[in-house]
Chain A
Amino acid sequence: MQALNLDYMVGLVPVLLGYLPLTLGMAAAGMVCALILSCLLAVIRVSRLPGLNQAAKLFISFFRGTPLLVQLFLFYYGLPQFLSFLVSINGVTATIMGLTLHFSAYMAESIRAAITGIDRSQTEAAQSIGMTQFQTMRRIILPQATRVATPTLMNYFIDMIKSTSLAFTLGVTELMGATQKEAASSFLYFEAFLVVALIYWVIVEALSWCQKRLEKRLNRAYQR
């Protein structure tokens, strides 16, 4: 039974924290892009736009049906064989694109559920006062759906932060990649992975706190 090498752990913290901006940056960029794409997909699915609806279904089916790692490898190592301009896309960009495509497929479904969860009578009421379909969506349905979808979307964001750990296979040394390399040279596996686990945990706890505040704000209109 070896003792925990605390000095090593303390020394590792600032080293690993240096990779936090990259990890969080990739996740944040992925989240923003995924939010836009998934809203589009959800609206297409809800309004059953002919043609586009089928395309959205296929997109969701593929990106939900295959692992993120497979998608990253396909995109980063596979496709450039046929489309040579893709070589100029670097690992960070490829990771963000992969996260966007993968998670928007999931998020679209949860946003769709939030939209269809808003009672039909509200759409009818909005249209009875002369709102167009677009106005109804933007001013009546989406604000309410946002509130319903927030907790699940936050879950996907948390998942996305942790999924950035796959970027190391594309040559991006992020938080987990840095930890793997440190562990592979010190052979202090427990110490290294414990430090990185604590860092991820603290980030997610901080996010949960933000989520609580956000939910409170979104719920203001519903408090009685």
Chain B
Amino acid sequence: MTAFRTLARTLAITSLGLATFMGTATAAQAETLRVGMSGGYYPFTFVDHDKLQGFEVDVMNAIGKQTGDDIKFVTASFSGLAGMLDSGRIDTIANQITITPERQAKYAFSEPYVYDGAQVVVRKGNDSIHGVEDLKGKTVIMNLGSNYETLLKELPYADEINLKTYESNIEQDVALGRADAFVMDRTSASQVIKDKPLPLQLAGQPFSKIENALPFRNDDAGRAQRDRVNKALDTLRDNGELKAISEKWFNSDITEAPQSEGSEKTGSDS
């Protein structure tokens, strides 16, 4: 019965492999901050030829240098990140998470480190949409689980917008003309339009100011991590490192709170 023997051997090898996988999972180090991100949100977190990089990566590494923690990045599709945080598989999410009342009730947020604005983006040449007020009767798409869904649902004419949420690739569907517009943060949208080959354009001004921060689990351990990160953020703000990282990726400082209500400063989020 050579077939059975081969099977047995394969099984032995497999269970060995399984044991190794599980071994790495349980060997938790005390000083490791596990940071979840999608790896698919240019230029905040993205992967180019297997190299994870972006604004969020630089910020988290700078924070790690201040706190002395090992930063371990975990990438997962955006819709899986909250589940990973809740179930204790990661300690925070660095993916331009906007502070909202609902999220604030559930998580312990760090202080904001990005100030941005929600932005409507349309296909290049589409001059019928000049901003959020023109979205009536249009098909508008956004990332699943993002805060923009809530923002649009709060509009008085929300039920007249054909709102759809996607797992990924919203930019492509608007570029293809399958949807009229997508909504995401101003900073990221501008950068995509500038750097990437998709025929897209901004439609009007950002329509909502947003503040993005790092969510931690709202328990003793989570709040302790949050406090350590806050201290590190203060230092990075004071020594200009945060600003330098922002200018590296955006040629502007998006980490500073707008001075006044009428300020030009815009923001973004996911």
Contacts and interface: CB of A to CB of B under 8 A. Distances in A.
Interface in A115-145: none
Contact of A76 (B11, B79, B83, B90): B83
Interface in A185-208: 185-189
A178 B76 contact: no
A32 B198 CA distance: 44
B24 to A, nearest CB: 7
Contacts of B5: none
Interface string B32-51: 00001011111000111110
Nearest to B52: A181
A183 interface: yes
Contacts of B21: 90, 92-93
Nearest to A8: B49
A12 B21 CA distance: 27
A184 B40 contact: yes
Contacts of A87: 87-89
Interface in B3-61: 3, 7, 10-11, 14, 17-18, 21-22, 24-26, 36, 38-42, 46-50
A169 B172 CA distance: 21
B65 to A, nearest CB: 25
B75 A89 contact: no
B18 A77 contact: no
Contacts of B22: 88-90, 93
Interface string B68-102: 00000011110110011011111000000000000
In this complex, the member of B10, B38, B79, B87 whose beta carbon has the largest number of chain A beta carbons within 10 angstroms is: B87
Given A87-B88, A87-B89, A168-B77, 12 more contacts: A29-B14, A35-B7, A90-B24, A93-B21, A171-B80, A178-B50, A181-B39, A184-B40, A184-B47, A184-B169, A185-B48, A189-B172
Give the bracket for the number of chain B residues in contact with chain A. Answer: 35 or more
Contacts of A15: 49-50
Interface residues of A, number: 44
Contacts of B168: 180, 184
A92 to B, nearest CB: 5
A202 B24 CA distance: 31
B192 interface: yes
A76 B76 CA distance: 13
B269 interface: no
Contacts of B24: 90
Contacts of B84: 77, 171
Contacts of A73: 83
Interface string A149-193: 000000000000000000011111100011011111111110000
A12 to B, nearest CB: 8
Contact of A28 (B14, B46, B88): B14
A97 to B, nearest CB: 10
A15 to B, nearest CB: 5
A171 B75 contact: yes
A81 interface: yes
A2 interface: yes
Lowest 10 A-B CB distances belong to which pairs?
A: A184-B40, A171-B76, A77-B83, A185-B46, A90-B25, A181-B47, A187-B196, A181-B39, A80-B87, A29-B14
B21 to A, nearest CB: 5
Given A171-B74, A189-B169, A182 B17 contact: no
In this complex, the member of B7, B83, B90, B197 whose beta carbon has the largest number of chain A beta carbons within 10 angstroms is: B83
B149 interface: no
Interface string B148-173: 00000000000000000000110110
A111 interface: no
A35 to B, nearest CB: 8
A76 B77 CA distance: 14
Contact of B197 (A32, A93, A184, A187): A187
In this complex, the member of A2, A15, A172, A180 whose beta carbon has the largest number of chain B beta carbons within 10 angstroms is: A180
Contacts of B25: 88-90, 93
Contacts of A173: 39, 75
A194 B90 CA distance: 32
A145 B77 CA distance: 41
A73 B77 CA distance: 13
Nearest to B75: A173
A143 to B, nearest CB: 9
In this complex, the member of A93, A185, A188 whose beta carbon has the largest number of chain B beta carbons within 10 angstroms is: A185
A50 interface: no
A93 B18 contact: yes
Given A88-B26, A168-B77, A181-B40, A32 B50 contact: no
